[in-house]
A = this chain, B = another copy of it.
Amino acid sequence: MNTPEEPVHERITEAELAVMDVLWERPRRTAAEVCDEVCTARGWSLATVKTLLSRLVQKGALAAEPDGRRYLYSPLIERAAYVGGESRRLVDRLFGGSAASLVAHLAETEALTEDDLAEIEALLKELRP
């Protein structure tokens, strides 16, 4: 079990993630609409967003559905899948593949608030009655 399971899409970079995030929140948006969401926050120009969109399409992470002379962009991968892959990468690289070690580390370094701990506890109760 636990096949390595290489993802089909190429690696999504930090800047590209910002774009993916707005499309995960609501798909089928144009370049200009995506820019409306992120350009001011990141200090980007529309050109930058266009580049990122193109690269994401090339990487197989976005679909570009023609709509007149423009495109509506939508994610081809689910956010959960991406997040899962990244989490796994981190766990593998830094915690020898043990997710429990990650949780332990978070707990030890007090990256977990009291609320976090309570929430996790609740989760556990649900997962193993």
Contacts and interface: CB of A to CB of B under 8 A. Distances in A.
Given A87-B90, A90-B86, A94-B86, A117 B109 contact: no
Q: Which of A98, A111, A113 has the most CB of B within 10 A?
A: A111
Interface string A64-93: 000000000000000010011011101101
A113 B99 CA distance: 9
Q: Give me the 7 closest cross-chain CB pairs, A-B, nearest first.
A: A100-B116, A100-B119, A84-B109, A83-B94, A99-B106, A103-B120, A99-B112
Given A120-B124, A127-B117, A128-B121, A87 B103 contact: no
A24 to B, nearest CB: 11
Say how many copies of this protein the assembly contains.
2
Interface majority SS (helix, strand, loop, mixed), chain A: helix
A32 B105 CA distance: 32
A103 B122 CA distance: 12
Interface of A: 14, 17, 80, 83-84, 86-88, 90-91, 93-95, 98-100, 102-107, 109, 111-121, 123-124, 127-128
Contacts of A94: 83, 86-87
